[in-house]
Structures are given as C-alpha cells and as structure tokens.
Amino acid sequence: MAVVSFEALTITIAHSWWSRLRGLLGRFNLPMEEALWLRPCSSIHTVGMLFSIDVVFLDSENVIVGFKSNIVPFYFAIAPKGCVSVLEFATGGVEYYGLQIGDRLEL
C-alpha cells in the first residue's frame, strides 16, 4: 500500500445533502489540479453533467477500495463495499496521479 499526498491539488468538499446532490453540475470542465470530495457517499451519478470524470471510492481511512475511469454523462455507479466517500477527478486523473486500489490518500 502506498501513501499518496497531493501538493498541487485543490479539493472541494461536498458534505451537505445539497452540495453532494449538485456535485459538478453546472460546470463545463474540471481542471486536472482540482477534485471534488463527496462525503458521505455510497453512489454517484453524472446525470446532467457536460463532461466525463474519473471516480475514486474511499473507505473510512481514505484507502482506495475501487475506481472507475472515464465515466460519461448520464451514468450511475454504486460504490463498492466499504466505501464511505468519493473523490471525483477530471478524466485521466486516476492515471495522472498514479492511483491504485489499496493506496491511502492524505487529504
């Protein structure tokens, strides 16, 4: 297990019901240096979004328990067992940051 820290990543936290529901809606893109952290979160949707994203599923210790790359608009995904939060990146973010299942993120 690797520990991954992000020095040049701006993370917006969506922790209220409304902010999680809204997510990235209304945006035209997500720069590679930004991410949205949905917590708590057990599923995601991209209904109404205008661009694709990468999604990383995290457990209570911020360990990656799964991810999906290049999720297109109007997609639904249920998080894998053990997931309590989700980090949404620009498409290619999982590869760009070299993330793997089992990595622990320092957020």
- pLDDT tens digits for 5-42? 567 788 877 776 666 656 566 667 788 888 989 889 88
Residue 52 belongs to domain with CATH number? 2.60.120.1140
43 within a domain of the structure (yes/no): yes
Average model confidence (pLDDT) across the chain: 85
Position 19 in a domain: no
In a domain, residue 25? The reply is no
The answer to whether residue 5 is domain-embedded is no
Residue 19's pLDDT is 61
Residue 83 lies in a domain: yes
46 contacts 75 by C-beta, under 8 angstroms = yes
Q: For 105, phi and psi rounded to 5 degrees?
A: -95, 135
Q: Which domain holds residue 86?
A: 35-101
From CA 34, how far away is CA 85, in angstroms rounded?
17
Number of domains into which the chain is organized: 1
| 18 inside domain | no
Asked whether residue 63 is assigned to any structural domain, the reply reads yes
Query: What's the confidence (pLDDT) of residue 45?
Result: 85
**Is a pLDDT exceeding 70 seen at residue 59?**
yes
Banded model confidence at residue 56, pLDDT cuts 50, 70, 90? very high
For residues 29, 73, 40, 87, the Cα torsion angle rounded to the nearest 10 degrees is -50
For the record, the structure tokens of 63 come out as: 């360990």
